[in-house]
Structures are given as structure tokens and as C-alpha cells.
Amino acid sequence: MAQVLPAERDLRRVIGDGEGVPDGEVEGLSEDDLLELHRRLVQLRTYDERSLVYHRQGRIGTYAIFWNHEAMQAGSVYALEREDWIFPSYRESAIGLLRGMPASTVLSWWRGHPTGWWNPADWNVASICVPIGTHVPHAAGLAWGKKLRGESACAVAYFGDGATSEGAFHEGANFAAVMRAPLILFCNNNQWAISTPLEAQTAAETLADKAVGYGIPGVRVDGADVLAVYEATREAVTRARAGDGPTFIEAVTYRAAPHATADDPSAYIDPARVEEEKERECLGRYEAYLRRLGLLSDEAAEAVRAEALERMREGIAQAEAEPAPDPALLFSHALASPPASFDQDLAELRRVLGG
Amino acid sequence: MPELSYREAVRDALSHAMREDDDVFIMGEDIAEMGGSMGVTAGMLDEFGPDRVRNTPISEMAIVGAGIGAAIQGMRPVVEVMYEDFTTLAMEQIVNQAAKHRSMSGGQLKVPLTIRTQGGAGWSPGAQHAQQLEGWFVHVPGLKVVFASTPTDVRGLLWSAIYDDNPVMFFEHRTLYGIKEEVPDDLEPIPIGKARVHREGEDVTVVATGRLVHEALAAAQEAEGEGVSVEVFDPRTLQPLDEDGLVASVKKTNRCVVAHEAVTRMGFGAEIAAVVQEKAFDWLDAPIERVGAKFAPLPFAPVMEDYVVPDAADVLEAIRRTVGR
Ligand SMILES: Cc1ncc(C[n+]2csc(CCOP(=O)(O)OP(=O)(O)O)c2C)c(N)n1
Ligand SMILES: [Mg+2]
């Protein structure tokens, strides 16, 4: 039995506050790395903000906003290799961008258009999971498969604080721990699950405490500190590749936006608290850090934003240019070998559509 | 007679029962401050407090399982599963436990639990948030299954479900929450197992559930213009089924169309057709027509969703097909 230490209490931080709390640094990250991380944060932020507008224009369906969650996504993915698998929840819908997936693909996914169905095997990014926590066992199984095949890749499952209440989370975490599967359990603790606050979700003092029960390390990190997230994930990946099994990372942030576009948080969240949290949002904090290091000028920051906006404009144009899908797809993708009943349904549909 | 929306009617029945009976309480995800994902329980927290209007962790299996635990001591909990798609996470509790406790205790244990849930297409929520799964549960001995389509029905039937000594799966349809109807001044319980004839007719009986009741009524209106008189028959409770009412209606009209939003193949409509042919074969003048969703996972894009789920036009076509024979 490996000895497991109690889960951490304090949040790991690298970025200081420019006043009393000094800036730290992450060993092994070059200036280029630091700027690349910035570019990625801006890319995600731009995608999210433009998507919200795009939703308001009625051009995509319900959209899960991830404003102030970018550091968790960009920081953790930066610690992965391309061979490692990502299992996103709806909150990480655009995480593929970090692997070069075109914005038009993600936008098309939110438009319900077939060009939004990326092939998970092309990107090592699994399909987005909307039922809460369901994908944790999938990630455990993929990680176990990698181990069985003697491959070095690991898997990361992203889920929220609320997801830790689901049986699937518990069973998946326990399963991976027992099998010493190379899995990172990455919990985005934004302290809300729709209208339910963390203290109504768990009686544990921290979510990382749950790791103790599975016999794996539980790490707590400031989820709005991209460098701390990166470092904690890198450590977990190293453990996973060394055959030491899963790590639970609790990244603490705050959901400073509605749960999704259909949600009105005024009934349950104190708006003053939201405003306070917005002050501490992850991109601004990282930019201030880079400026203190003398690595980011106004012009450079502007250029990064302009580039991200341009990519997004291209993405929207491309997604909009896609022709309407063929209804036959409804049937042709449902089973590997469509039964005769599908042909009958399709013929009926074509008749109704008059084509 | 007050006018209530379907949403208000559900709330009214719950509040009524909770005022009269301390053993009735509700729990589910986001039902307290937020009033549930569909606003059904809005305001109830203020009246009944956080213990009886209980926000739970995101744990569907525990929500239903704990409901069973409360029920076997004689309480009458009403638990909410936010989307019927997520009853899948609680299937062990519903199918193997709630439905079986009575018979496996030799009839000594009762589980007066009501499981409210909602779902349905029409607003494009995709393959995992829009299914109509009521047909799964009618197939399980030990459960009752209700699917109300109007404010009056949902109010009276929810009351009966709460006071039924059996576990009841209580389905609501997402697109119906806003519809209004005049309801009785005093809440009148509606017996489980009794259908409602929405409109009398001579030429064909349309047996419809949930949203399709309203689509069937629209189709019946159209058909009338074509000289076809349509009877719209809503079983309201799928298990038990009002077989006598159903058979009487078909014996009168001699034709039958079954319409539900759930997929047609292997569906609840097939059971209706089986009952009709078994008990009214000699009265039938035409094959029974079925209307339902195509056999494909529900797509996310609104246009594609439209292709899959049925509406009034599909019901009308089925009516024309059956009277044309
Ligand atoms: C199995 C299941 N139950 C309920 C829901 C409805 N639902 C959607 S998001 C959500 C809250 C999730 O909160 P959390 O896990 O903290 O993730 P966050 O949205 O904060 O990123 C709920 C209850 C669902 N999608 N799946
Ligand atoms: Mg959350």
C-alpha cells in the first residue's frame, strides 16, 4: 500500500498580487512558454466572449459560458502531450482549440451541425459530456487501456464541483485508483452547480479531501492562476506516466457568469460577490504578472487579442458557410450497419420533405 | 374557476399536499432558490422552508433511493429528477427497488413515492436532454406511470400520485409548462387509470399522450374541415391503462391512430394497438396507424430535431390514411 498524505488545504499559487504576495516562477518554463500560455488564454477568452454574442444573435443553441475558467483549461492542457486524452465536460467545450482544432468546428458543434462532430481520435479530445460525471469512468477506462497496451499516454477528465456528488465520479475515481490507471481527475471547483453552492454539495471541508478515501493524492490549486494549474498538472502527469496512478486536482475558481445562457442567477447569487470575483479573473491576473516581468506590452497584448479575434471571425464565417445537413445523417450515424427500418424511416422522411 | 398554467398546476398540487400533510416533502436538484430548472417549485422554499423543499447534491440515484427510504416509513416524498433522461442514473432504485419492495416483502412494505420528471423535444436540447422514456417504465410491474397533458389533469393526477401507495413515475412535458386551462376551484383528485376524452368524434379515435394531445387536437380541427370527425382520447395514465375507455371509443369510431412523441418502433403505441386489436378486432375498419418519433437519437439542431419528432401534420396524415381505407 502506498502511503497517502492528507489532501492539501492551502491553494497552490505562483502568481502574486503585485503587492504583499510575491510572484513565483515555474521551473522549466521559458519566456516563450509564458507568452504561449498567454496567447492560449486570450484565445479561449475571445472564443467564449464571441460565442455569447453569437448565441444572443440566435446563431447557436444554449451555450455553457466558461469565462474565468480559461486558466484551468489552458494551464492543464499545457502540461499534456498530444498523445494524452482529454475528456471534457460542456464547460470545456472549446478545449480542442488548444490542440489546434478550428474554431469553426467547435462553433458547429454548438450549432448542432455535422461538421461539429470532430473525430475524438484525431485530436485525442473525447466527445463533450453533458450528463454530469458520466465521462469519469470512460477516462479511467481509456487510461487503463493505455497501461495495458504499454503506452505512455495518460487521460484527463474534467468535471465540476457538483459532479463529485455523482456515483459515476466516485466509481470512476475508485476504479482508476485501484487499477493505478494513468488518470488525472481535474475538478473545476467554480463553487456553484447551477443554483447549488458548494456547501450544499458536500460536507467535506475541501473536495481534495475525497482523494484520501481513494488512496490517491489530492492537490488544491488556485484555478485562476494558470501557472499553478500548469505546475500541479505537470506533477500529476509525471506520477501517472511513472505508473503511480491517478491524482485528484481541485482547482478553485468562481463562476462569475451564469451557468449557461438559459440561466438567470439573480435568484440565487449575490451580484456583489460576482463583481468582486470578476476583479480577480484569470486573464487579467496573468497579464499583470507578465507585465511585472516586463514580458508584455500594451501593443503586444493588443496584437494577441487581434489575432484571436481574427481567428474567431474566420471560424464564424466558416461555420455559417456550411450547407444545411442532409437529414439522412440522422440514420446513417446511429448504428454502424443501419437496419432495414432505417431505410424505411428515411424514405418516409424524404417523401415528407418532398425530395 | 381559476386559470392555471401547467407549471402553476403542478406547484398548486404540491403546495396543497404539503400544507395539509407534514409527511409530504419535495427534494431534487436546484428546486429551492431557483425553483427547479423549469420554475415549477418557484416560491415554495419561502413557504415551506429548506427542509421540506430540499436542494440535493447532483445524485439522482440517491435522490430516488432516499425517497424510497423516506417512503417505507410512511412518508409521501415527491422527488424530482431534473430531466427524464437522468432517470437512467437511478434505474436500479426505480426498477429493482421501488417497484419490487411490495411484492418482495409479501405485500407488507409500501413505497408511496412520487418521482416527478420532465422532458421532451421542441426546444432542441439534443440527444441526452429531450428523450421521452415513459415507455420504459410502463413495462415494469410494480410501477404506476402518469403522463398528464393539461393543467387540470396534472393537478388532479399529481395529487392522486402522492396519495397512491405505490411508486408513481410522473412525467411532465417541457413544452407544456406554459399552457393554461381553467381548473376546478377545489383541487379534485383524478383517479389513476381513467382516461380523458378531449373531443368526441365519430370517424376515428386518436389516442395521444403528452404534447401530442395538443397536436392531435390541432389535427382534429383541421380534419373537421375535411369532413372527418375525430375523437381525441388521452389515457393520462399509461400504467394502469384505461382499457375499457379505449376499447369503447374505438368500437364507436372503428378506426384508431396512436400518437406519442417517443419513438414509434417498439413503443407504447404498439401496446395500445395490441389492446385494440385484441378487444375490438371485429370493429376495426382499417389498420391502426402509429405516429411517433423516428428511430434515431435526437439531433441538437432545430431543423434536424423537427425531422425526428412528430407534430400535428403527422397526426393529420395518419388520420387521412386511416379514413382513406
Ligand atoms: C446526470 C445529470 N444530472 C443533472 C444534470 C443537470 N445539470 C446540468 S449542469 C448541472 C450542474 C453541474 O455543476 P458542476 O458539476 O459544478 O459543473 P459546472 O456547471 O459548475 O461547471 C446540472 C445539475 C445533468 N446535466 N446531468
Ligand atoms: Mg461548478
Condensed to tens digits (0 to 9), the pLDDT of residues B161-171 reads 999 999 999 99
Residues near ion ligand 2 (Cβ under 5 Å): A 160-161, 190, 193
Domain identity same for A305 and A334: no
Non-local CB neighbours of A187 within 8 Å, separated by 6+ positions: A159, A160, A161, A163, A164, A207, A248, A249, A250, A251
Question: Could A196 and B89 be called an inter-chain contact, meaning their C-beta atoms sit closer than 8 Å?
Answer: no
Identify whether residues A95 and A41 lie together within a single domain. Answer: yes
The ligand placed nearest to the CA atom of residue A191 is 2
Residues of A in contact with B304 (CB under 8 A): 112, 325, 327, 329-330
> A209 and A90 in one domain?
yes
Q: Verify that A235 and A344 share a domain, yes or no.
A: no
In a domain, A19, yes or no: no
pLDDT at residue A3 in the model = 57
Distance from CA of B77 to the nearest CA of A (A): 20
Query: Does the pLDDT at position B6 exceed 90?
Result: yes
Q: Of these residues, A12, A255, A285, A311, which one is catalytic?
A: A255
Q: Which residues of A touch B (CB under 8 A)?
A: 61-62, 111-113, 130-133, 162-163, 165-168, 193-196, 200-202, 267-268, 324-325, 327, 329-331, 334, 341-342, 345, 348-349, 353
Compute how many other C-beta atoms are within 10 angstroms of the C-beta atom of residue B274: 11
User: Per-residue pLDDT averaged across B174-192, rounded?
Assistant: 97
Q: Is A162 in the pocket of ligand 1 (CB under 6 A)?
A: yes
State whether A253 and A209 are in the same domain.
Answer: yes
**Which CATH number fits the domain that encloses residue A318?**
3.40.50.970
Residue A256 lies in a domain: yes
Contact B29 A330 (CB under 8 A): no
Q: Are strands B114-119 and B144-147 parallel, antiparallel or unpaired?
A: unpaired
Q: What is the DSSP string of B159-212?
A: HHHHT-SS-EEEEEEGGGTT-EEE--SS-----TT--EEEE--SSEEEEE-THH
State which ligand 1 atom lies nearest to the alpha carbon of A201. 16
Amino acid at A336: A
Q: Does the Cβ of A193 fall within 6 Å of ligand 1?
A: yes
* CA-to-CA separations, A237 to A7, A110, A337, B197, in angstroms, rounded: 18, 30, 39, 64
User: Cβ of A195 and B34 within 8 Å?
Assistant: yes
Report percent pLDDT > 90 for chain B: 97
For ligand 1, is residue A242 a contact (CB within 6 Å)?
no
User: Do A343 and A317 share a domain, yes or no?
Assistant: no
Q: Please judge whether A345 and B294 are an interchain contact, meaning their C-beta atoms are less than 8 angstroms apart.
A: yes
Let me know if A259 is a catalytic residue. yes
Closest Cα in chain A, distance from residue B96 (Å): 17
Q: Is B60 a catalytic residue?
A: yes
Q: A249 in helix, strand or coil?
A: strand
Q: Encode pLDDT of B96-105 as tens digits.
A: 999 999 999 9
pLDDT confidence tier of residue B265, bands split at 50, 70 and 90: very high
Q: Which atom of ligand 1 approaches the CA of A190 most closely?
A: 20
Helices (H), A149-220: 167-179, 210-214
Q: Are residues A204 and A159 in the same domain?
A: yes
Which ligand approaches the C-alpha of residue B59 most closely? 1
Distance CA B173, CA A349 (A): 25
B85-94 average pLDDT score:
98
Question: What is the pTM for the complete model shown?
Answer: 0.96
- Beta carbons within 10 angstroms of residue A199's beta carbon: 8
**Which chain B residues are within 8 Å of A331, Cβ to Cβ?**
294-296
Cβ atoms of A163 and A133 within 8 Å: the answer is yes
What is the whole-number distance in angstroms between the Cα of residue A190 and the centre of ligand 2?
5
- Beta-bridged to residue B27, according to DSSP, are B54, B79
Interface confidence (ipTM) of the complex: 0.93
B49 Cα: distance to centroid of ligand 2 (angstroms) = 24
C-alpha cell at B132: 421521452
Distance B199 CA to ligand 2 centre (A): 48
- In this structure, is residue A303 part of a structural domain? yes
Interface test with B, best of A89, A108, A345 (most B CBs within 10 A): A345
Same domain? A46 vs A138: yes
In a domain, A56, yes or no: yes
CA distance A172 to A194: 23
Residues A75 and A190 both lie in one domain = yes
Q: Where are the alpha helices (DSSP H) in chain A?
A: 31-56, 70-78, 103-111, 120-123, 135-148, 167-179, 210-214, 226-241, 271-279, 282-292, 298-321, 329-332, 340-353
What mean pLDDT comes out for the span B251-271?
Answer: 97
CB neighbourhood size of B122 (10 A): 17
In chain B, what are the domains? 3-182 (3.40.50.970), 196-323 (3.40.50.920)
Please list every residue in chain A whose beta carbon sits closer than 8 Å to the beta carbon of residue B297.
334
Residue A12 belongs to a domain: no
A34 Cα distance to chain centroid: 20
Domain span at residue A337 reads: 326-355
Q: Which residue has the cell 475538478?
A: A187
Answer yes or no: do A298 and A349 share one domain. no
Ligand nearest to the backbone CA of A163: 1
- What is the least distance, in Å, from the CA of B128 to any CA of chain A? 7
Q: Are A135 and A52 found together in one domain?
A: yes
> pLDDT by residue for chain A (355 residues), tens digit each?
455 677 888 999 999 999 999 999 999 999 999 999 999 999 999 999 999 999 999 999 899 999 999 999 999 999 999 999 999 999 999 999 999 999 999 999 999 999 999 999 999 999 999 999 999 999 999 999 999 999 999 999 999 999 999 999 999 999 999 999 999 999 999 999 999 999 999 999 999 999 999 999 999 999 999 999 999 999 999 999 999 999 999 999 999 999 999 999 999 999 999 999 999 999 999 999 999 999 999 999 999 999 999 999 999 999 999 999 888 888 888 888 888 888 888 898 888 888 5
Average pLDDT over residues B5-31: 98
Residue A3 falls within a domain, yes or no? Answer: no
Nearest ligand by distance to the CA of A160: 1
Locate all alpha helices (DSSP H) within chain B, ordered by sequence.
6-20, 44-52, 60-71, 91, 101-104, 134-137, 151-162, 211-225, 243-253, 268-280, 302-308, 312-323
Q: Does the pLDDT of residue B123 top 90, yes or no? A: no
For chain A, how are helix, strand and coil distributed in percent, rounded to 5? 50, 10, 40
Domain co-membership, A313 together with A254: yes
Tell me how close the Cα of A160 comes to any Cα of chain B, in angstroms.
Answer: 11
Mean pLDDT computed over B14-29: 98
Domain count for chain A, please give it. Answer: 2
Strand order in the sheet with A247-252: A85-87, A155-160, A183-189, A247-252, A218-222
Distance of CA B214 to the CA centre of its chain: 13
Interface of chain B against chain A, CB under 8 Å?
A: 29-30, 32-35, 37, 55, 57-62, 85-86, 89, 124-126, 128-129, 265, 294-297, 299-304, 307-308
Mean confidence (pLDDT) of chain B? 97
A23 occurs within a structural domain: no
| Rounded Cα gap, residues A144 and A151, in angstroms | 10
Identify the pLDDT of residue A1: 47
CA distance B294 to B265: 8
AA letter at A171: E
Do residue B308 and residue A330 have CB atoms under 8 angstroms apart? Answer: yes
Cα A194 to middle of ligand 2, angstroms: 7
